[in-house]
Structures are given as C-alpha cells and as structure tokens.
Structure 1
Amino acid sequence: MSNNNTKHFLYFAYGSNLLKERLQLNNPSAEFYCKGRIKDYTLNFGNWKGVESSWHGGAATITESLGDDVWGAVWKMNKSDLQSLDKQECVEMGMYRPLEVTVETEKGELSCRTYKMNECVVTDTSPQYKQVVCLGAKQNNLPVEYIKKLEAIETNNYSGPTPLNQIEDVMK
C-alpha cells in the first residue's frame, strides 16, 4: 500500500499563493508546513507573452539570479489538488511551468514544486496583487527585511476589480 509520501507533495509559494485564503480557494487541502527560501533566484513581476492577467498587472515569477534569494511558504498538499494547482497556474496554456526547487527551511532542505512563468514580459504589478503578496508574506511570518522589500515594489496604480475581491469575500 502507499505511504504518506505518495499522498502529499510540498509546494513552494512566493506570489499570490502565499496567502492561505487565495491558495485554498481552489486547493482546499493546502496546509502551511513552514517558511523557507530558494537561493540564486529573484522575484519578478510580469505578463505571459505581454498579455495582461486578471490582476491587471504583472504576476509573480522567479528568475535565476546568483546571490539573491526568494522567501516563501511551503505548503503540504494532497496530490488530488495537483491538477487544480496546475490549472490555477495555467500550466496547460503554457503560462507557467512546474519546477522542482530546493528550499532552505528550519526543517532542513526540502524538495518542493514551484512555478516559473514562461516568456515573461516584465511589467509593474497591480496594487491589489502586491497587497495579496504582502498579506501572505506577513501571514507566514517571512523575514521583516523581505516584507519591507515587497512593500517597496512599485505598482501600476490600477484601481478596478481584480481577483482580490473574491479573496476578500472569503476572508470576511
């Protein structure tokens, strides 16, 4: 019979999925496991092939960058949520591709699934997307210096509706 390791996987979130309420909209099994960082990457925001997302600005992605690191949350998830996570990250469309990364955590090094945008055109993010990322960073107790770095990110000043409205309804 299968052991526990085959029923779950670890997912490293660094963007909007840092926020529990956002991730659990489509992935109810997600449980916070620990915080951690990936080395030699930097956080960027962009649009896939330049196409604007439902957030009306750039979505988070990671880019290889020696000496930098990206902090995030490691979520333990049922494998049954893998398909919905891939769908949320638009893997089938080719927007993001899954990636195995080594995450440094207080529990040691963990091998986790994460996502990286394909054909990313770097652009400013919307204030709403930035807000979700910052809320998630605080919710998961990421380092204060890293949160300050996130809070300093420039936005495009978009002020219309975004998926944040759906998340706010869940948080009420």
Structure 2
Amino acid sequence: MSAATNGTFMYFAFGSNLLKERLQLANPSASFCTTGRLKDYELNFGLWQKHANNTWHGGVATIQSNPGSEVWGVIWTLSNEHLMSLDNQEGVNKGIYSPLEVSVETDQGPMLCRTYQMNNFHPCPPSPQYKQVVCMGAEQNGLPVEYLKRLEAIQTNNYSGPSVLDQIRPLMKQKLEV
C-alpha cells in the first residue's frame, strides 16, 4: 500500500491519535492499517507556546529528530476528504503543528506517511488523561510491550479536571456493550 491509494492517504499516529476512538472523533474514515516504527526520532511532550492552554491541560506529543532513537505508532488509512479535518485537529492552520512526510518501517516494508511535528516546542509534561489516552491507544493496537512500558513511565502534571478523555470514554463504553 502506498501513500496515495484510491483517494486515501496514510497517517502515522504516535500520540492521542493512537486511540481509534480519539482519532475518529473528527476523522470517521480512519481505519487501522498496521503498526510501525519511525527511526531516528524521539517522542516528546510539550506546548507550542510557553503557557498555552489546550483541551488536554498539559503537554501533547510531538516527534523530534534524534539519531538512534525510535517512535512506535499506528498507521491509519484515511479518506482524502479527512485530510483537512486531520490538519485542523492538529492545529496546522494555527501554526501549532506542521505536516511532515516520513518513511515508517513496518512488517510490510517501509510506508510513506503523513505525520505532524510541533512548531516552537516548549517541554511540558502531559496531563494524566492525555497520557492515559496515549497508553490505551498503544495497548489497543498492540505496540511492543517495552515501548508501552516507556509510555507508562512518563511523568504527568497531575491535572485532575475535565478533558477530551471525557468525550472519548462514552465511545469506548458503547463499543464494549456492542
């Protein structure tokens, strides 16, 4: 499968969009393709402005170039009609993230994917809710156990109020009841 097959594109998710229910809030066409590894990048959490407020109440995931490191994630196939909604979700129009084309290693060989990298990165720990969504997505899609342990070890900012997770929980509950 290539980056542009029949009106679709491949998207490499490494943060909250690892979780299908999160991604499908704004991008219902997203379907699982495979898992993969992005070499020479590392996962970081932060904000695009020093004191930015966001719906997650803490740092969010980004990738940064770092030779020898790797970031595991999920490759989703999305309809081209959701390219703009994905860009909007990632704040491309506000200058928060920039789209990036990367080659992701998979069991099926390298795949060219769209992903996103934060602009003006300021390190900031994620909220417990954001970290939970990232970990649930990693587990849901069978990312390697060692990588999952690294995600679970990430320190949070201990925020305890409402967040986007409150919109996702009912969707997960519905799936369990079906």
TM-score (norm 1): 0.97
- 1:52 CA drift (Å): 2.7
Hey, what's the Cα distance between the residues in 2 that align with 1:53 and 1:140? 26
- Unaligned 5+ runs, structure 2: 174-178
The two structures, once aligned, show a CA RMSD in angstroms of: 0.8
Identity over aligned residues, as a percent? 59
Indicate yes or no: 2:148 matched with 1:147. yes
Match of 1:109 in 2: 110
- Is 1:127–1:155's contact at 8 Å kept on the other side of the alignment? yes
1:29 aligned residue: 29
Cα distance in 2, alignment partners of residues 48 and 122 from structure 1: 9
1:119 aligns with 2:124: no
Matches within 5 A, 1:1-172: 5-50=5-50, 51-172=52-173
Regions of 4+ moved over 6 Å = none
Query: Any gaps of 5 or more consecutive residues in structure 1?
Result: none
Q: Equivalents in 1 of 2:122, 2:158: separation in Å?
A: 18
Q: Distance in 1 between matches of 2:56 and 2:121?
A: 15
CA contact (8 A) 1:22 1:167 kept: yes
Amino acid at match of 2:12: F
User: Residue type of the partner of 1:65?
Assistant: N
> Is this contact kept in 2: 1:14–1:73, CA < 8 A?
yes
Which structure: greater strand fraction?
1
1:170 shift after superposition:
1.4
Calculate the TM-score normalised by the size of structure 2: 0.93
Shift of 1:6: 4.2
Give the whole-Å Cα distance in 2 for the aligned partners of 1:63 and 1:20: 23
Length, aligned pairs only: 169
